[in-house]
Amino acid sequence: MEETVQIVYQGKTYTFPLVEGTEGERAIDIRRLRQKTGLITLDPGYANTGSCQSAITFMDGEKGILRYRGIPIEQLAERASFKETSYLLINGRLPNQKELNRFSVLLNDHSLVHEDMRLFYQSFPRGSHPMGILSAMVNALRSFYPELQSLEEEINITVTRLLAKVRTMAAMSYKISRGHKVVYPRPDLAYSANFLNMMFDSPVRPYVIDEDVVRALEVFWILHADHEQNCSTSAVRMVGSGRVNLYAAISAGISALWGPLHGGANQAVIEMLTEVHEKGIPVRRLVERAKDKKDPFRLMGFGHRVYKTYDPRARIIKKWCHLLLDKLRSADPLLDIAMELEEIALKDDYFIENNLYPNVDFYSGIVLRAIGFPTNMFTVLFAIGRLPGWIAQWKESMDDPDWRIARPRQIYVGQRQCDYIPLEERK
Ligand code: SDX
């Protein structure tokens, strides 16, 4: 017998169905709540509200579990490529060899950006943040690639264009911002190696591909590929629910990710650690500031809306910090500071009581610095990683029979009815 939940309100009992997920998580289905009771729910930040039923990613915040289409993140980070992971998220299963080869050919064939788009880059002021440029350029793609008649063909080619071109666009924004010659994608390089070459190759200093560096970037992107209904994914779903084209929905996701409380945290962590290093601020001072309610300072890279234990991605990326720095025979004082900060915070009652642990952003910047990326590109790299997840979530919402235009309600707390006051009578 179907389990239900009952609400007693103004002497009447109302019954609502329960929805249960694959892993036993449960929700009250309140889609008839207002119709039955006249009531709505209020849930600032949607911490207690499910927006959809999804088969893409499973997270258990208490146990620190993350799986893409059922496969644990630890296995994907260990054995998969970012291309396979992207295919898995978008298509629901890992590709066979033939499908993977075809996917590679399509990504290569669509990896160039329309030459006229280069003029756009030159129009941005020199100091423009690459996230603002990327969001604008992705939105502009619709102007260069008008909608195709067949919806299925439109979706398939748009998905491929985004996955193939966003990498090139990111590298272009970096090169042009430095006044350097743009490096084109090469047909002989795989996805991540191609991006590194576009970023760092130069006519006077050819970039040498290091397989460990390529793998570190692949793992970084795999770890960031999806994360169920986070802020930027919810933005993609919400904007997409108005049936706008996918480029515009992804552009909205990029904008949402830019915030320092979300994807912008990886840049904010490095800026925080750099200040500690350059000014010799005692690490414990940061922990005290984070605890001080009068101080708006937050320990960047710590805490999470879902994970109330160690972010499984942070464990993996922390390991890669050591692997990569050892391989490159370089040390990073910021890693030492990060590890000292983690050690102090995890023993502090405030962090323990609030379940504040390192999240993926706490260590990811150390890996990106070791590879040679400038700090203001870190969130762009997060966006490239998250792109397959955004696309998968958008596609799932388009195919969801329950999906409607997203239009939350509110509780009005403003003025009661009042009259217009002519200008001459106003004080
Ligand atoms: C990402 O959602 C996702 O899945 C996101 C993401 C993804 O892959 O898409 O995982 C990527 O965005 C990771 C998070 C990156 N952001 C940061 O590292 C910024 C620092 N973190 C915090 O701002 C905060 O932890 C959030 C934004 C991540 C979560 O905020 P919540 O869920 O709204 O938690 P909260 O603000 O209600 O915090 C609960 C308590 C509060 O204390 P009280 O006001 O109740 O007394 O914990 C405190 C907070 O003040 N707190 C912190 C803190 N994070 C929470 N105090 C100090 N430092 C922090 N970092």
Among residues of the chain, what percentage have pLDDT more than 90?
Answer: 95
CA proximity to 387, closest of 116, 166, 65: 166
DSSP string, 241-284: TTT--HHHHHHHHHHHHTSTTTTTHHHHHHHHHHHHHHHT--HH
Question: What spacing in Å lies between the alpha carbon of 306 and ligand 1's midpoint?
Answer: 9
Q: pLDDT class for 348, splitting at 50, 70, 90?
A: very high
pLDDT in tens, 267-324: 999 999 999 999 999 999 999 999 999 999 999 999 999 999 999 999 999 999 999 9
Res 152: pLDDT: 85
Arithmetic mean of pLDDT, 46-50 = 97
Res 59: pLDDT: 98
The verdict on the CB of residue 223 being under 6 Å from ligand 1 is no
pLDDT in tens, 354-391: 999 999 999 999 999 999 999 999 999 999 999 999 99
Res 138: pLDDT: 97
Q: How far is CA 28 from CA 19, 21, 90, 232, in A?
A: 6, 12, 28, 25
Res 2: pLDDT: 83
Q: DSSP E strands: which ranges in 301-346?
A: none
The verdict on the CB of residue 300 being under 6 Å from ligand 1 is yes
Res 151: pLDDT: 82
Q: pLDDT class for 146, splitting at 50, 70, 90?
A: confident
| In the predicted structure, residue 150 carries a pLDDT above the cut 90 | no
CA proximity to 303, closest of 255, 361, 249, 254: 361
The verdict on the CB of residue 302 being under 6 Å from ligand 1 is yes
Res 134: pLDDT: 97
Residue 231 CA, closest ligand 1 atom number:
2
CA proximity to 127, closest of 172, 178, 180: 178
pLDDT in tens, 336-347: 999 999 999 999
Q: DSSP E strands: which ranges in 315-415?
A: none
361 catalytic? Reply is yes
Please say whether the dihedral angle defined by the alpha carbons of residues 171, 172, 177 and 179, taken in this order, is positive or negative: positive
The verdict on the CB of residue 345 being under 6 Å from ligand 1 is no
Question: What spacing in Å lies between the alpha carbon of 196 and ligand 1's midpoint?
Answer: 31
DSSP string, 26-45: EEE--TTHHHHHS-----GG
Res 38: pLDDT: 97
Q: Which of 123-132, 145-154, 335-344 has the lowest mean pLDDT?
A: 145-154
Residue of 300, 302, 310 to test ligand 1 pocket, by largest number of atoms within 8 Å of CB: 302
**How far is 362 from 338, CA to CA, in rounded Å?**
8
CA proximity to 161, closest of 100, 197, 226, 113: 113
pLDDT in tens, 79-123: 999 999 999 999 999 999 999 999 999 999 999 999 999 999 989
Q: pLDDT class for 153, splitting at 50, 70, 90?
A: confident
Alpha carbon nearest to ligand 1 atom 18, residue:
301
**CA 316 remoteness from chain centre:** 17
Q: Walk me through the domains of the chain, giving residue ranges and CATH numbers.
A: 4-60 (2.20.28), 72-262+387-398 (1.10.580.10), 265-371 (1.10.230.10)
The average confidence (pLDDT) of the chain is: 96
Res 154: pLDDT: 84
Question: What spacing in Å lies between the alpha carbon of 343 and ligand 1's midpoint?
Answer: 19
Alpha carbon nearest to ligand 1 atom 42, residue:
354
Given 129, 304, 311, 332, the catalytic residue? 304
Q: pLDDT class for 148, splitting at 50, 70, 90?
A: confident
pLDDT in tens, 160-218: 999 999 999 999 999 999 999 999 999 999 999 999 999 999 999 999 999 999 999 99
Q: pLDDT class for 416, splitting at 50, 70, 90?
A: very high
